[in-house]
């Protein structure tokens, strides 16, 4: 899953415009992720200017 630290996030939308499958949306002051569409590529984590995003790799069930 994608964890967004809302205290670090500056809601700039860098992650939203970078997401290759458009599974993120910038609301006025928060970003939300559609986990069902997410392909866990990690682009959002790397592009974030302030390091607010962490891709948490889930252990296989």
Partner 1 sequence: MKEMEYDVLVVGGGPGGSTAARYAAEKGASVLMIEKRQEIGSPVRCGEGISLGWLEDYGIKEDESWLIHRIDGAKVVSPSGFTLEINAKMAGNEVGATIRRDFFDQMLAEMAARAGADIMVKTSARSLIWDDKHNVAGVKARCNGEDCIIKAKVVIGADGFESQIGRWAGISTVLKQGDIATNFQYHMIGIDIDARFSEFHLGSIAKGGGYAWVFPKGEDEANVGLGVTLDMIKQGGEPKRLLDRFIDKHPELKKGKIVEQVAGAVSVGVPPDITVKNGVMLVGDAARMADAITGGGIRNAIRSGKIAGETAGEAIEIGDISHINLYEKRWRAEMEDELYRDWMAKNKLVTLSDEEFDDLISALSEADIENLSVYEILEVVKEKNPKLVEDLMSFL
Q: How many CB atoms lie within 10 A of CB 37?
A: 11
CB of 38 to partner 1, least distance (A): 15
Q: Is 30 in the site for partner 1 (CB under 8 A)?
A: no
Kindly tell me the burial class for residue 40, based on how many C-beta atoms sit within 10 Å of its own C-beta (0-12, 13-18, 19 or more): middle
Per CB under 8 A, the list member of 1, 3, 6, 22 interacting with partner 1 is 22
The CA-based diameter of the chain, rounded to the nearest angstrom, is: 36
Q: Is 27 in the site for partner 1 (CB under 8 A)?
A: yes
Binding site for partner 1 (CB under 8 A): 10-14, 16-18, 20, 22, 25-28, 43, 45-54
């Amino acid at each position: 899953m994608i964890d967004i630290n809302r205290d670090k996030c500056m809601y700039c939308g860098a992650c939203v415009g970078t997401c290759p499958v458009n599974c993120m949306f910038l609301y006025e002051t928060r970003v939300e992720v559609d986990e069902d569409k997410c392909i866990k590529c990690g682009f959002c984590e790397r592009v974030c200017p302030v390091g607010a995003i962490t891709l948490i790799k889930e252990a296989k069930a």
